[in-house]
A and B are shown apart, each in its own frame.
Chain A
Amino acid sequence: MTKDPKTKQPSRNTKTGYTRRSFMQTTLAGGAAAAGAYFGIIHRADASGPIVIGHQCELTGGFSSWGYWHDKCAKAAVKLINDGGGIAGRKLEMAVGDTESNPAAGARKLRSLIQRQKASFIVGSVHSGIMLASIPIATELKTPYFSAGEATEATGSKGSRYSFRTGTDTYALAAAGVPWAMQNLGKNWTMIFPDYAWGHSHHREHRKLIEAAGGKVNDPIAVPLGTKDIVPYLARIPKETEVLFSVFFGALSVAFYTQQKSMRLDEKMKMYSVSGTIEAIDPRDIGGATEGVYFLENFPRPLEFKNDEYHKKFNELMNVDDVYAKEKGSNKVMAKSHCWQSYENFFVLKKAIETSGWKSQKDTQGVIEALEGLKMENSLAHPQGSKELRAEDHSGMIDCYMSRVEDSKFVIKKRIPRADLEAKLPPRYDFRKYAL
């Protein structure tokens, strides 16, 4: 330590009045206070009070037609759980954060859910961009996060020990759909998709499997978001195409089906897609533009194709009809292939919390370990069907359904059991090796 040569006292900054020692003391005290506050946030849950689960949801913006259903599903699950005595005898409280269908707003709301509203677990977004922006934050704040979107990175290259998904990703959808589609629709494929993560993810995963099975994949066509006139893109589809695989969302999806129909492309090639492109849309409302299109679904729209008491009761809870999944008394169509996750994930967390004996934030490791490999039976808590949250990659292994739109109704052509899917879908990551 340097000292003043005249006074032999520690040297003092004449402007601030601090000595080096007092500065160090203040800094250390401040650091200790900040660390205390941080751990206060981390260990935020009162071990006897309500358990708060955050729901990061698209209530407004471009995904709000889906968000409505995710919100409705989450509320129904919370009510059922609380009516049944809560989680481990504690009341369940849900804190909702509207992402505005925007990754920046979604990430901000996630921080707010965890840090301000003290959510200990998050049932997350269905928007791939938002969920990918959220996972690093949830990981940083050591909070388990359930994605509902399909970009494979959430339980892949950008996943973590805290990231889970009970539904399918592009990897699973490709594994579930390609074998049947190659056998029944054709071997020369062209893919057309929106120019962002979700579309490119589908292209990568499908291309690998198609080429491995001896098929040909033509140059992809990436359509910029916000395009109104798709004709220039449709004009680029090679004439030899047998299967046109499209992955669009919302208005762009309707524009695609409308414009391909008017160009009579569906008379020249088979149209194949995934449920995300027709979610919350009734084929009757788009004038038959999807007639004859094949869709890979996660949950059949008509009750008759998974006709059991749990599916029926779930439809009743959601107040939708048993054929078109349309809300009674409104024009809203259920985003059925995805929104069940915002319902079931609350029950998944309930089971993991109760199994692990979680009391507060310091017990989160136990919940994560309970979630890894968790098995769920077909029940009112899991109306989509029996499933497993695979231990290695935190991915849901579920039954999938190949449907075709016939007279505006989704008719199942093939059920792909989860056992078949699991056999074709080796885990590419093992998050159990990742530090908590």
Chain B
Amino acid sequence: MDVVIALGMNGIVWGLIIALIALGLSIIFGLLDIINIAHGDFFMVGTVLAWFVLQTTGNYWLAFFIVPIIGFGIGALIEYSVIQPIKNAAALSIVATFGLSIILQESVRATYGAAPTRLVPPITGTIPMFGLEYEIYRLFAAAVSIFAIALFFGFLHRTKFGTWMRAVRFDPEMATAMGIPARKIYMVTFAIGFAMAALGGVVAAPITTVDFQGGVDILPFCFMAVIIGGLGNLEGTVAAAVMLAFFEGVMASFFDPTIARIGSLCLMSIVLLIRPHGIFAGATR
């Protein structure tokens, strides 16, 4: 029973980190209708930037502040140069972001290198947790994710810019007619999506690795969360990411973890069959 609880809790912790990354994917889809194949690479760029900040300043804590800001800037640049020219062409967005993914990966490989490295967590040590020596940093990472997600929803619901973002999501033509700068909203939304994935990279880098292909494997899980949560449904994405990871964690304590992953995929298929627009689709927009 101890292992079940431990792996269930670990699932929630990991799910919160995934939720932070998947939320960026969801807002980009929800507002811009962009199926962003490069989102995993935004996460990877975050891990590499975290490594870079640590190398240059010697202080990992700075990465939690600097990397999302840099990510925001890169995101705005990408929106201007890649996304804007293909606006309103969803099929093209897959091709364009796939190309972007290759460019980001190969740029990192050419500069940072192809060998993976590890970042030592800024908080070391473990605590005994239901029979496991559990890393304290993971709990901290979960706390940072909760804080960042709460901050985002606060921004979305409590600020003028957030209201504009919701308005543009709801009805872009009407929002534009009302004088809301839709163009600027698109750019800022995409940039926030990048910044959140990059922050996810900073949070997750000491747990996983820094590697030029580090974003490839995280993308399917993010897409699963977005699909199960309801395309473009932000609260649903967060809930689905945590639920999926928890489900996998609990399953992994009874079955082989590979079976647990198959179970997650089956769950996604069932959800798509019963509720094709996701569990929380009713709340979309």
Chain A residues with CB under 8 Å of chain B are 60-62, 64-65, 68, 195, 222-229, 231-233, 235-236, 250-251, 253-255, 257-259, 262-264, 280-282, 285-289, 330-333
Contact = CB atoms under 8 A, between A and B. Distances in A.
Contacts of A333: 115
Interface residues of B, number: 42
A70 B278 CA distance: 48
Given A228-B208, A254-B211, A222 B258 contact: yes
B109 interface: yes
Interface stretch (B3-11, B90-98, B230-238): B3-11
B253 A235 contact: yes
A232 B115 contact: no
Interface string B104-135: 00100100011111111100001000001111
B105 to A, nearest CB: 9
B135 to A, nearest CB: 4
A412 to B, nearest CB: 23
B114 to A, nearest CB: 4
B213 interface: yes
B214 interface: yes
Nearest to A65: B114
Given A251-B214, A255-B209, A231 B10 contact: yes
A227 B217 contact: yes
Contact of B133 (A223, A264, A281, A286): A264
Given A228-B204, A228-B208, A255-B208, A280 B115 contact: yes
A62 B213 contact: yes
Contacts of A264: 126, 133
Nearest to A287: B120
A263 B135 contact: yes
B113 A331 contact: yes
Binding site of B, secondary structure by majority: helix, strand, loop or mixed? mixed
Q: Which of B117, B133, B206 has the most chain A CB within a 10 Å cutoff?
A: B117
B258 A224 contact: yes
Nearest to B114: A65
A262 B6 CA distance: 15
Contacts, number: 112
A68 B114 contact: yes
A258 B115 contact: no
Q: Which of B115, B134, B209 has the most chain A CB within a 10 Å cutoff?
A: B115
Contact of A285 (B106, B117, B133): B117
Nearest to B109: A64
A286 B51 CA distance: 12
Given A65-B114, A228-B218, A281-B116, A223 B257 contact: yes
B211 to A, nearest CB: 4
Contacts of A65: 113-116
Contacts of B216: 226
B115 A289 contact: no
B116 A251 contact: yes
Q: Which of B10, B132, B207 has the most chain A CB within a 10 Å cutoff?
A: B207
Contacts of B252: 232-233, 235
A332 B10 CA distance: 34
A233 B257 CA distance: 7
5 contacts: A235-B132, A253-B116, A257-B118, A281-B117, A287-B119
B226 interface: no
Contacts of A61: 213
B249 interface: yes
A224 B218 CA distance: 13
B168 interface: no
Interface in B32-74: none
B260 interface: yes
Q: Which of A235, A280, A281 has the most chain B CB within a 10 Å cutoff?
A: A235
Contacts of B249: 232
B109 A224 contact: no
B137 A331 contact: no
A254 B217 contact: no
Interface in B1-37: 3, 6-7, 10, 14
Given A257-B118, A333-B115, A250 B207 contact: no
B253 to A, nearest CB: 7
